[in-house]
Chains A and B, each alone.
Chain A
Amino acid sequence: MTIEINNRPYDLPDDARISLLDFMRERLEFFGSKKGCNQGACGACTVLVDGERILSCLALAAQYDGRSVTTIEGVANGDELHPLQALFVEHEGMQCGYCTPGQIMSGIALKSELERGAPSNVSSDLTVAPRLSRDEIKERLSGNLCRCGAHNGIIDAVAAYVGGEEQ
């Protein structure tokens, strides 16, 4: 049983009860994904599995046998920041920084969801394509809390990343 994390394979733990988040942080020392609430209510542990965002605190590592996980450690290209990381700096999308890895992973997934044609999350019509409005972005980032209240900067950064209107 192996899991790929940031393009490198790792043996899964023998104990099936370990969460993906604990496995990454405590066994592999990937400290980027944060443990905020550990009960699926804050989004700080958001990672991508085969490009889709999930909460690593609500997952057992064993569930993702053979799958490919991307964490915040895996998004930059060497010393060159991922475009969304650079936009978080430019728009001051953080204060303490604890929620930032989860916010960035969510923002990256959000863009690919829109590109894959996910329907709008704010329209009363459940099949219409989303407009790249702030409301749409806010709604789709609702699974990531920032207790410092840096949401305005976060939304600015993600809006710039997806090419939406900055109002």
Chain B
Amino acid sequence: MSYISPTKIDEALEVLSRGSGKIIAGGTDVYPSAQLGQHPDFYMDVTRIDGLKRISVSKDIVHFGSAVTWTDIINADLGSAFDALKATAREVGSVQIQNAATLAGNVCNASPAADGVPPLLALDASVELASRAQGSRLLPLAEFITGVRSTVLRRDEMVVGLQVPVPPSTMTSAFEKLGSRRYLVISICMTAVNLVLDQDNRITDARIAVGACSAVAQRLPALEASVIGQRPADVEIKPEFLAPLTPINDVRGAAAYRYDVVQEQCRRAIMQAASR
């Protein structure tokens, strides 16, 4: 079985048009999910493709190439709206995993407990896809991930990068994660909050996303709407605001526990984002 490391996007798309391969970047989710007796036609490594290891900032867009690692994010100079994403980066796996694993890989792996998805949803991120047959397309992250370990990525298609519209300079953010310990565990529940406050300390913009409490991480539109015009300390988190969530009972926690945790995480993340 072959291992192909193209250096140009065109070359990569040509490779993908040949058959049923597996795209690999850091590889940290690829190896553990391999099944005995099953193997792809080839592995295609995206980390040597020109430009994909870059984080670039233009007037309107912050672009994360699909080979950008968590360590790259920790070390990048990004605005305060990206603090939740940075906080996520330093708690994913362990330093050893952060050095290899990529943001795009976390999204493509589509685990319900993917730490990267809530902060990216709160940043209104989109996924940039490309294939030889159909060219490129841009999809909101919420449309890209369709279920547990499932995405709309076609067999001949790859993720080129993630795009975030440049957030307001006054936007701040925070990330809260619960696991049985901080590192090397699958998250029980995590919450990302992005906020803008006015001079009177009232919330004028809020984006709140929760992971590991539904098949795909969810924004909480009712909660977001309810906090507008409020001061962070006065925010009330009513159970009906959590309607998009469908937490399950599993070995890591009971559904009722997850509901409790989400409410506390929302409070903490809002207060923390407001203090930045």
Contact = CB atoms under 8 A, between A and B. Distances in A.
A154 interface: no
Contacts, number: 98
A39 B184 CA distance: 10
B75 A119 contact: yes
A46 interface: yes
Interface in A42-66: 42-43, 46, 52-55, 57-60, 62-63, 65
B99 A52 contact: yes
A136 B83 CA distance: 19
B102 to A, nearest CB: 12
A54 B2 contact: no
Interface stretch (B28-36, B118-126, B203-211, B250-258): B28-36
Interface residues of B, number: 37
Chain A interface: which size bin? 35 or more
22 contacts: A16-B43, A40-B28, A40-B32, A40-B184, A41-B184, A43-B94, A54-B99, A55-B97, A57-B31, A58-B27, A58-B32, A59-B28, A60-B30, A60-B43, A62-B3, A106-B96, A126-B83, A126-B86, A126-B90, A142-B182, A143-B96, A143-B184
Interface of A: 1, 15-17, 19, 39-43, 46, 52-55, 57-60, 62-63, 65, 106, 109-110, 113, 118-119, 121, 124, 126, 140, 142-145
Interface of B: 1-3, 5, 24, 26-28, 30-32, 34, 39, 42-43, 45, 47, 71, 74-75, 83, 86-87, 90, 93-97, 99-100, 181-185, 272
